[in-house]
Amino acid sequence: MHTSLVIKGKGVSREIKSRVIQSPLAGVTDRIFRKFIRRWAPHSLLFAEMINATSLNLGYGIEKINQINNEEGPIGIQLFDNRPNSVADAAKESESSGAYIIDINMGCPVKKIANKGGGSALLRDPCLAVELVKKISRAVNIPVSVKTRIGWSEKDKNIKEFLLRLQDAGANMFTIHGRTREQGFNGKADWSFIGELKVELDVPVIANGDIYNVNDAIECLNITKADGIMIGRGVLGAPWIIGEIDFALKGLENFKKPTTEEKLQLLIEHIDELIFEKGEHGLLMARKYIAWTCNDFDGAQNLRKNLVRAKNPQEAKDEILLMIHKLKNKS
């Protein structure tokens, strides 16, 4: 089984020494979270949060792309918009800031994205989608990829022709989520259909959807014969999962998964980073990470409640340290 991924760009090709990619997740995959993922996945392609191209050209979100130049390992930028010139300009800006690859989102099912003509709305406007890919691939030298879904609905799955047109327009790789836009995140991802599409394409195909652990990853690759996999919601509360899967796909053994105490220590570190970057508001932002971390151990529910009620960061950290102490005593 090959362990790297080669993506050919117009002027620059990329070889990634990992077949496991981290999906861009709004409000999650910021610089801090990527730093934690990178501890276990030094070679994987990670993505910043999805960025609106027009907003970026107006100066909003510029810090998201400026940060990547100081990070270790390959970092990609995913853009969404329905204005070809805006996306091309944003792609050039991202390339100059150190983006390893540019990805165009054509699969996000969220209404506020699709209603503005971006994300999955492009599935219903193939001519615009082609124009977007053409403009971006001409604007940058690095590879251009597209993340999309297997169709708009079960009755409207003309995705094969859609992908072939985008490939001809200059797309260098596709990430395909195995659900339709209509499904959202309901039902089960159709890995078999991704496999059917893989056969029809000349560029690398990345499979996405319902991959939460090593067994899922292996089964997905066996079914799809994809060149790699992308992990989205599987990283929530588990920033080590990218590295764990990569470890297994490379035939390595004895991956050191963090203990409950280590997970809680990581949560303290995450709170500290958020407070440093966002001030007191960082504790509020930490609540989702608290919810994802505080489960599957004795006292998890009470700890979660106490942390949500914490009046300040120190009170929250004291509660976590107390739980770490209790868990160590039990063991």
More confident position, 110 or 16: 16
Helix (H) or strand (E) holding 242: helix 241-249
Residues 198 and 287 occupy one common structural domain = no
Question: Catalytic: 108?
Answer: yes
Cα separation of 141 and 274, whole Å? Answer: 35
Sequence letter at residue 258:
P
Is there a domain that residue 200 lies in?
yes
Predicted TM-score (pTM) of the model is 0.95
Q: Is the pLDDT of residue 16 over 70?
A: yes
Shared domain for 160 and 267, answered yes or no, is: no
47 within 8 A of 70, measured Cβ to Cβ = no
The answer to the question of residue 255 being in a domain is no
Q: 254 in a domain, yes or no?
A: no
- Shared domain check, 170 and 272: no
End-to-end CA distance of the chain: 39
Q: Which domain holds residue 138?
A: 5-249
pLDDT in tens, 234-269: 999 999 999 999 999 999 999 999 999 999 999 999
161 neighbors 132 (Cβ within 8 angstroms) = no
Tell me the percentage of the chain whose pLDDT exceeds 70: 99
- Same structural domain for residues 95 and 159? yes
Last residue of a domain, one of 199, 214, 249: 249
Q: What count of other Cβ atoms lies within 10 Å of the Cβ of residue 63?
A: 10
pLDDT (tens digit, 9 = 90+) per residue, 86-141? 999 999 999 999 999 999 999 999 888 887 788 999 999 999 999 999 999 999 99
Q: Which two tokens stand for residue 283?
A: 């504790």
Same domain, 158 and 278: no
In a domain, 242, yes or no: yes
* Separation between Cα atoms, residue 29 and residue 161, nearest integer Å: 32
| Set 108, 127, 220, 294: catalytic member | 108
Q: Does 148 share its domain with 239?
A: yes
